[in-house]
Amino acid sequence: MQAEPGSHALAIRRQYFLSPYTMAEVSLSSHPAERYGHSSALKRHDEAPSEKSE
């Protein structure tokens, strides 16, 4: 990681599911604190897909 021993880091665990009871993958990542950035974008849908009229 090219970081000083004992320095702070962010550990991220992601879980990917195929269904509510079937996990497909687990990802573990470590990022040095001074080199980590994160952004996300959320999009709201006003209707559930099954409720849309044709």
Which pLDDT does position 26 carry in this prediction? 97
Which pLDDT does position 53 carry in this prediction? 56
Which pLDDT does position 51 carry in this prediction? 59
User: Which portions of the chain are predicted below pLDDT 70?
Assistant: 48-54
Does the pTM surpass 0.85? The reply is no
Q: Cα dist. 54→5, 12, 47, 51 in Å?
A: 59, 41, 13, 10
> Above pLDDT 70, what percent of the chain?
87
| CB-based contact 31:3 (threshold 8 Å) | no
